[in-house]
């Protein structure tokens, strides 16, 4: 149902018989108004200073999609605006992202569908204290410097955030499919302006429409998914490399990892039966040409075959260097590699020295777009989502749940209980733990390694 978030067609989309479009459009209008007020300086911090730093706190689907889009649209940032993401509960993330920020000029946005995710809530509490300390406990410090994106209004209120500054979404939006909801709309509109975020929606809507209407043999997400299935289930290649030749797509592999691996890492069919074929795939990648100087060797000559996706652009985001008879620009230099790598993989080269022999016959796909803009960033986002969903449909698994992630959370809660017990009475409770985990917990609580 996440396609409703960017349904610009004017047609209704119903969930349980109710058209959700009026609510979707209402939240978008609320975001447009709020973000315009911040960017124009009408809505300032408590000391009257203009807000110029946005710290987005969230994890998983409440982080990776927005970070991918922000990185793709860095060249569209409003003058003087900074956007930083804090996801990890490791204090290094918060400490280093905020070290050079002035709370008077900073707005923190807490992004969490449930508003209960442990890492996000811990970072949110730290941010709340950071703002209060930095703003002399001003009565309006939280009201003016902290906002929320969530489905859980009551929890947002209990946390102390004014719900007038909360931007909602709905249960029918899955976390990793939520980048075009308020989850992405709020931080990105504060960074690049609502008009540019709307172009992301237009690009995603373009791909949604193409996916819904194009014949299967011309349908880009369907073809991509079927090639994946061919590689995974018929050729046995269960790892895929995503290799964008654009620095702006540096975070697309990380976002795709969550979309693919959290959606399709499943071993039970929707009807409850065990699967007896491979599902899911490991996705990894780096922007070109960086990856060439790192892991491409294994893709070229390793014993595993790793199908690769190349993405390139006709025009660069920045024109640097000149195309002359003697030199090529940065972009053309980048594109020489985009052209060369798929051929090297496909055709290889024979050499009398065995170690220099490239076998070739390694599959890849290349996608060429005009330019990395908010529109194409949105289009690629929707391509990624539909590609994963098509595989789920073909395999008969549910791409929209993630029970595996939950076990780790339950075990984590158990350890938090043991740590709280230590804080209270100094007891190191290792009851029920295996020897290895007991040793690790003991070391962490004692603050030193054993022996
Ligand atoms: O990692 C598990 C998960 O539930 C993801 O699916 C989700 O995107 C993430 O946690 C964050 O959840 P929330 O938005 O509720 O904080």
Query: Three-class SS string for the chain?
Result: CHHHHHCCCCCCCEECCEECHHHHHHHHHHHHHHHHHHHHCCCCCCCCCCCCEEEEECCHHHCHHHHHHHHHCHHHCCCCCEEEEECCCCHHHHHHHHCCCCHHHEEEEEECCCCCCHHHHHHHHHHHHHHHHHCCCCCCHHHHHEEEEECCHHHHHHHCCCHHHEEECCCCCCHHHCCCCHHHHHHHHHHHCHHHHHHHHHHHHHHHHHHHHCCHHHCHHHHHHHHHHHHHHHCCCCEEEEEECCHHHCCHHHHHHHHHHHHHCCCECCCCCECCCCCCCEEECCCCCHHHHCCHHHHHHCCCCCCEEEEEEEECCCCCCCCCCCCCCHHHHHHHHHHHHHHHHHHCECCCCHHHCECCCCCEEEEEEEECCHHHHHHHHHHHHHHHHHHHHHHCCCCCCCHHHHHHHHHHHHHHHHHHHHHHHCCCCCCCCCHHHHHHHHHHHHCCCCC
From the candidates 262, 281, 286, 385, which is the catalytic residue? Answer: 262
In the structure encoding, which two tokens stand for residue 449, read together? 């390694």
Other beta carbons less than 10 A from residue 228's beta carbon: 25
Active site residue 237: no
From the candidates 18, 26, 293, 413, which is the catalytic residue? Answer: 293
Residue whose pair of structure tokens reads 């009398």 in the numeric block: 352
In the structure encoding, which two tokens stand for residue 240, read together? 């895929």
**Taking CA 88 as the corner, what is the angle to CA 87 and CA 91, rounded to the nearest 5 degrees?**
120
In the structure encoding, which two tokens stand for residue 391, read together? 């595989």
Active site residue 138: no
What pLDDT was estimated at residue 238? Answer: 97
Q: Which atom of ligand 1 is nearest to the CA of 117?
A: 16
Evaluate whether 431 touches 294 at the Cβ level (below 8 Å).
Answer: no
Q: List pLDDT tens digits, range 310-320.
A: 999 999 999 99
**Residue 396 within a domain:** no
**Residue 397 within a domain:** no
What pLDDT was estimated at residue 130? Answer: 98
Check whether residue 358 and residue 426 sit in a common domain: no
Out of 388, 419, 435, pick the residue that ends a domain.
Answer: 388
Is the backbone peptide bond immediately before 289 cis, with ω within 30 degrees of 0? yes
| Rounded Cα gap, residues 334 and 313, in angstroms | 10
Phi, psi for residue 243 in degrees, rounded to 5: -125, 80
- Judged against a pLDDT cut of 90, whether residue 164 lies above it is answered with yes
Q: List pLDDT tens digits, range 273-307.
A: 999 999 999 999 999 999 999 999 999 999 999 99
Going by CA atoms, what residue is nearest to atom 3 of ligand 1?
60
> Which of 412, 438, 442 is closest to 118 using CA atoms?
412
Q: Which atom of ligand 1 is nearest to the CA of 402?
A: 6
Check whether residue 184 and residue 251 sit in a common domain: no
Q: List pLDDT tens digits, range 127-151.
A: 999 999 999 999 999 999 999 999 9
Distance set, CA 450 to CA 204, 420, 422, 438 (Å): 53, 21, 18, 11
Check whether residue 353 and residue 437 sit in a common domain: no
Check whether residue 288 and residue 437 sit in a common domain: no
> How many domains does the chain fold into?
3
Q: Which range marks the domain in which residue 418 is found?
A: 403-446
Check whether residue 261 and residue 373 sit in a common domain: yes
From the candidates 356, 409, 413, 446, which is the catalytic residue? Answer: 409
Check whether residue 351 and residue 435 sit in a common domain: no
Check whether residue 252 and residue 358 sit in a common domain: yes
Evaluate whether 25 touches 12 at the Cβ level (below 8 Å).
Answer: no
What pLDDT was estimated at residue 411? Answer: 85
Give me the mean pLDDT over the 238-252 stretch: 98
Evaluate whether 428 touches 445 at the Cβ level (below 8 Å).
Answer: yes
What pLDDT was estimated at residue 359? Answer: 87
Give me the mean pLDDT over the 233-252 stretch: 98
What pLDDT was estimated at residue 350? Answer: 86
Ligand 1 pocket by Cβ (under 6 Å): 59-62, 112-114, 117, 120, 175-176, 262, 402, 405
Q: List pLDDT tens digits, range 254-280.
A: 999 999 999 999 999 999 999 999 999
**Residue 208 within a domain:** no
Check whether residue 115 and residue 232 sit in a common domain: no
Going by CA atoms, what residue is nearest to atom 6 of ligand 1?
175
Out of 155, 172, 200, pick the residue that ends a domain.
Answer: 200
In angstroms, what is the span from residue 412 Cα to ligand 1's centroid?
15
Check whether residue 168 and residue 227 sit in a common domain: no
**Residue 451 within a domain:** no
Check whether residue 144 and residue 267 sit in a common domain: no
Residue-averaged pLDDT of the chain:
96
**Residue 205 within a domain:** no
- Name residue 113's beta-bridge partners: none
Answering whether pTM is above 0.85, one says: yes
- Judged against a pLDDT cut of 90, whether residue 206 lies above it is answered with yes
**Residue 135 within a domain:** yes
Determine the angle formed by the axes of helices 91-98 and 118-134, rounding to 10 degrees.
Answer: 30
The more confident residue out of 406 and 372 is 372
Give me the mean pLDDT over the 3-21 stretch: 95
**Residue 207 within a domain:** no
Percent of the chain residues topping a pLDDT of 70:
100
Check whether residue 181 and residue 159 sit in a common domain: yes
Report residue 157's pLDDT band, with 50, 70 and 90 as the boundaries.
very high
**Residue 395 within a domain:** no
Determine the angle formed by the axes of helices 374-395 and 194-213, rounding to 10 degrees.
Answer: 40
Active site residue 391: no
Q: What is the CATH number of the domain that holds 112?
A: 3.40.50.10490
Q: List pLDDT tens digits, range 27-80.
A: 999 999 999 999 999 999 999 999 999 999 999 999 999 999 999 999 999 999
| Rounded Cα gap, residues 103 and 127, in angstroms | 10
Cα pseudo-dihedral 367, 370, 375, 376, rounded to 10: 20
| Rounded Cα gap, residues 295 and 297, in angstroms | 5
| Rounded Cα gap, residues 326 and 214, in angstroms | 44
Our mutation pick for probing the ligand 1 site, out of 62, 116, 153, 183, counting the most ligand atoms within 8 A of Cβ, is: 62
Give me the mean pLDDT over the 184-213 stretch: 98
In angstroms, what is the span from residue 117 Cα to ligand 1's centroid?
7
Residue whose pair of structure tokens reads 């860095």 in the numeric block: 74
Going by CA atoms, what residue is nearest to atom 16 of ligand 1?
112
Out of 345, 361, 388, pick the residue that ends a domain.
Answer: 388
Check whether residue 276 and residue 339 sit in a common domain: yes
In angstroms, what is the span from residue 170 Cα to ligand 1's centroid?
14
What pLDDT was estimated at residue 425? Answer: 96
Q: Which atom of ligand 1 is nearest to the CA of 62?
A: 14
Distance set, CA 356 to CA 50, 304, 360 (Å): 59, 17, 12
In the structure encoding, which two tokens stand for residue 225, read together? 């998914």
Report residue 83's pLDDT band, with 50, 70 and 90 as the boundaries.
very high
How do 239-244 and 308-315 pair as beta strands?
A: parallel
């Amino acid at each position: 149902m996440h396609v409703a978030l960017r349904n610009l067609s004017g047609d209704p989309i119903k969930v349980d018989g109710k058209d959700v479009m009026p609510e979707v459009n209402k939240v978008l209008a609320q975001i447009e108004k709020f973000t315009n007020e911040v960017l124009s300086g009408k809505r300032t911090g408590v000391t009257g200073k203009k807000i110029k730093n946005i710290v987005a706190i969230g994890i998983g689907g409440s982080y990776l999609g927005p970070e991918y889009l922000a990185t793709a649209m860095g060249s569209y940032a409003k003058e003087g605006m900074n956007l930083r993401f804090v996801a990890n509960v490791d204090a290094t993330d918060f400490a280093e992202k905020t070290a050079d920020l002035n709370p008077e000029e900073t707005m923190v946005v807490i992004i969490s569908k449930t508003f209960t995710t442990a890492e996000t809530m811990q970072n949110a509490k730290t941010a709340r204290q950071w703002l209060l300390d930095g703003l002399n406990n001003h009565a309006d410090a939280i009201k003016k410097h902290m906002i929320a994106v969530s489905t859980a209004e009551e929890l947002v209120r209990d946390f102390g955030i004014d719900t007038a500054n909360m931007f909602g979404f709905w249960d029918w939006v899955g976390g990793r499919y939520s980048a075009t909801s308020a989850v992405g709309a709020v931080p990105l509109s504060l960074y690049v302006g609502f008009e540019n975020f709307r172009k992301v929606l237009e690009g995603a809507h373009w791909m949604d429409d193409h996916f819904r209407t194009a014949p299967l043999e011309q349908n880009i997400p369907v073809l991509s998914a079927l090639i994946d299935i061919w590689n995974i289930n018929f050729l046995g290649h269960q790892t895929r490399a995503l290799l964008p030749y654009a620095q702006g797509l540096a975070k697309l592999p990380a976002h795709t990892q969550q979309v693919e691996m959290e959606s399709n890492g499943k071993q039970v069919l929707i009807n409850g039966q065990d699967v007896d074929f491979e599902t899911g795939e490991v996705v990894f990648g780096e922007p070109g040409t960086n990856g060439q100087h790192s892991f491409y060797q294994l893709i070229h000559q390793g014993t595993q075959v790793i199908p690769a996706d190349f993405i390139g652009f006709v025009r660069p985001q920045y024109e640097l260097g000149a195309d002359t008879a003697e030199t090529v620009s940065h972009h053309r230099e980048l594109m020489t590699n985009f052209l060369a790598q798929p051929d090297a993989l496909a055709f290889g080269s024979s050499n009398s020295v065995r170690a220099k022999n490239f076998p070739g016959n390694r599959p890849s796909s290349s996608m060429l777009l005009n330019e990395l803009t908010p529109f194409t960033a949105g289009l690629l986002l929707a391509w990624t989502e539909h590609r994963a969903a098509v595989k789920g449909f073909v395999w008969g698994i549910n791409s929209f749940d993630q029970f595996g992630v939950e076990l780790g959370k339950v075990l984590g809660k158990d350890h938090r209980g043991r740590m709280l017990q230590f804080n209270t009475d100094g007891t190191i409770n290792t009851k029920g733990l295996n020897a290895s985990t007991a040793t690790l917990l003991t070391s962490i609580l004692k603050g030193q390694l054993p022996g």
